[in-house]
């Protein structure tokens, strides 16, 4: 495959042998462990702890932890390759697993050596714990700077008060990366990032949400009431939280986009399979141009979205993280995956609306890609901001 794709007009589109092996491993895992159970986990909103453990055993959780802390030290492109394969099977399950790689990013990006040794090495690699990423609040989602959670310095520790909502894996996480204001008057320069152990007194999981899609993933609200966090749990310096959160997005958006690409590919594959079987007016339905064109559009979108996602991941690895490319890739992948899932249901006709076929779940699961990790509107705002800078 690498040979076939190599060197098109001086650009290299091939994956390395290691990446092809990684892709195959994730694809086989998805076929064996995720696709057969996805509908059941969705129906019962069952948290996929067992699948998480199996993914951890083969190294597909927290792939971004550097080797010196016991991790795989995988590239962001490697992560995207895996995210696409797992997303193909079930984005509820893949979100549950990939959230550990989101929650650890503030530590990977801004943690001291000692913080990395402990939280990444001991807690995540050795103990296999879960971590959630906590930015969003009931009154502040897109507007991160509007957050109201406070971290007040008191005698060598910080007292955290506030509520974080829509937090993935919160009911199961062993610790949290939390953003809070240490200086309420300083705007984005007043936000700081902390690691907070779940067992700290004052933490309550105050609400567990019932969702339209990605039902295997857990989404809950966390209340922090006079939660005392040691000063050594501050990531970076006071006031650097906003910068850390923005850097996290450069890394996390390509991987989230990749999961949407996986869902898009699934919508396309299911549509092709069905359109080859179903006959109306004496022909297989793909012979009706209206149906064929829908699937052609999915195929075009798949290639374009995957290229954008891979490019945005590659440029991060090249040491030039680009907020515009990360935002554009995630928004494009999410929007095209959304369109593909809707059209897949249409290709299936009435059967597409029924739970006995997989496309109705795709249509429910896909919507969140236009909302979390930056809504499609906010991501366009970023593209505009960068273009007119």
Instruction: Indicate which residues carry an active-site annotation.
Output: 373
What string marks each residue from 148 to 187 as x (binds ligand FAD by CB under 6 A) or -?
Answer: ------------------xxx-------------------
**Judged by CB under 6 A, which stretch of 43-51, 183-191, 303-311, 368-376 contacts ligand FAD?**
368-376
Query: Can you tell me the distance from the alpha carbon of 212 to that of 116, in angstroms, rounded to the nearest whole number?
Result: 36
CB of 359 to ligand FAD, least distance (A): 20
Beta strands in 209-340 (DSSP E): 219-230, 234-235, 279-280, 283-284
CB of 99 to ligand FAD, least distance (A): 6
Among 136, 177, 221, 271, binds ligand FAD (CB under 6 A): 136
Among 92, 141, 254, 262, binds ligand FAD (CB under 6 A): 141
Cβ neighbours, 10 Å, residue 31: 13
Evaluate whether 16 touches 81 at the Cβ level (below 8 Å): no
Beta bridge partners, 159, equal: 152, 228
Among 367, 371, 383, 386, binds ligand FAD (CB under 6 A): 371
CB of 344 to ligand FAD, least distance (A): 21
Distances (CA, A) of 229 to 173, 200, 276: 17, 8, 59
| Binding flag, residue 93, ligand FAD (CB under 6 A) | no
CB of 368 to ligand FAD, least distance (A): 5
**Judged by CB under 6 A, which stretch of 199-207, 233-241, 346-354, 370-378 contacts ligand FAD?**
370-378
Helices (H), 282-322: 289-317
Q: Which residues contact 131 (CB under 8 A, 6 or more apart)?
A: 99, 100, 103, 104, 119, 123, 124, 169, 173, 174, 175, 176, 177
Distances (CA, A) of 28 to 21, 32, 34, 89, 369: 10, 6, 10, 10, 24
Torsion angles phi and psi, residue 59, rounded to 5: 85, 15
Two tokens, residue 293: 């064109």
Interactions with ligand FAD, residue window 308-367 (CB under 6 A)? none
Among 23, 375, 383, 386, binds ligand FAD (CB under 6 A): 375
Nearest to 253 by CA among 105, 111, 59: 105
CB of 179 to ligand FAD, least distance (A): 8
| Binding flag, residue 372, ligand FAD (CB under 6 A) | yes
Task: Give buried/exposed letters for 144-170 (b at 16+ CB in 10 A, else e).
Answer: beebebbbeeeeebbbbbbbbbbbbbb
Among 219, 252, 271, 312, binds ligand FAD (CB under 6 A): 219
Among 16, 112, 142, 204, binds ligand FAD (CB under 6 A): 142
What string marks each residue from 99 to 128 as x (binds ligand FAD by CB under 6 A) or -?
Answer: x-----------------------------
Binding site residues, ligand FAD, CB under 6 A: 99, 132-136, 141-142, 166-168, 211, 219, 368, 371-372, 375, 377-378, 381
């Amino acid at each position: 495959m690498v040979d076939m794709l190599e060197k098109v007009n001086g650009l290299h589109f091939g994956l390395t042998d290691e990446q092809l092996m990684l892709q195959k491993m994730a694809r086989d895992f998805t076929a064996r462990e995720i696709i057969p159970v996805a509908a059941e986990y969705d129906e019962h909103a069952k948290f996929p702890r067992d699948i998480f453990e199996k993914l951890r055993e083969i190294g597909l959780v927290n792939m971004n932890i550097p080797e010196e802390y016991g991790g795989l030290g995988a590239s962001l492109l490697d992560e995207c390759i895996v995210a696409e394969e797992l997303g193909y099977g079930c984005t509820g399950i893949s979100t549950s697993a990939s959230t550990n790689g989101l929650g650890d990013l503030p530590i990977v990006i801004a943690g001291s050596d000692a913080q990395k040794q402990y939280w990444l090495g001991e807690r995540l690699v050795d103990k296999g714990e879960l971590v959630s990423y906590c930015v969003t609040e009931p009154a502040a989602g897109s507007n991160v700077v509007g957050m109201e959670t406070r971290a007040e310095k008191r005698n060598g520790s910080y007292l955290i008060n506030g509520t974080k909502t829509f937090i993935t894996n919160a009911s199961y996480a062993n610790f949290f990366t939390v953003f809070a204001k240490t200086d309420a008057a300083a705007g984005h320069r007043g936000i700081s990032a902390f690691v907070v152990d779940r067992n700290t007194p004052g933490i309550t999981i105050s609400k567990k949400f019932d969702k339209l899609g990605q039902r295997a993933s857990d989404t809950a609200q966390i209340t922090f009431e006079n939660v005392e966090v040691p000063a050594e749990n501050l990531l970076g310096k006071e006031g650097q939280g906003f910068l850390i959160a923005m850097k996290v997005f450069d890394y996390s958006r390509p991987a989230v986009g990749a999961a949407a690409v996986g869902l898009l590919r699934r919508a396309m594959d299911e549509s092709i399979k069905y359109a080859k079987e179903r006959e109306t007016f004496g022909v297989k339905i793909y012979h009706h141009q209206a149906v064929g064109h829908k699937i052609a559009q999915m195929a075009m979108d798949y290639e374009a979205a995957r290229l954008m996602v891979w490019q945005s991941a590659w440029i991060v690895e090249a040491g030039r993280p680009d907020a515009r490319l990360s935002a554009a890739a995630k928004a494009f992948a999410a929007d095209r995956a959304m369109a593909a899932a809707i059209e897949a249901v249409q290709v299936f006709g009435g059967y597409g609306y029924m739970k006995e076929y997989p496309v109705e779940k795709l249509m429910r699961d896909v919507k969140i890609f236009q909302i979390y990790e930056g809504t499609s509107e906010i991501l366009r705002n970023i593209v505009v901001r960068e273009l007119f800078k």
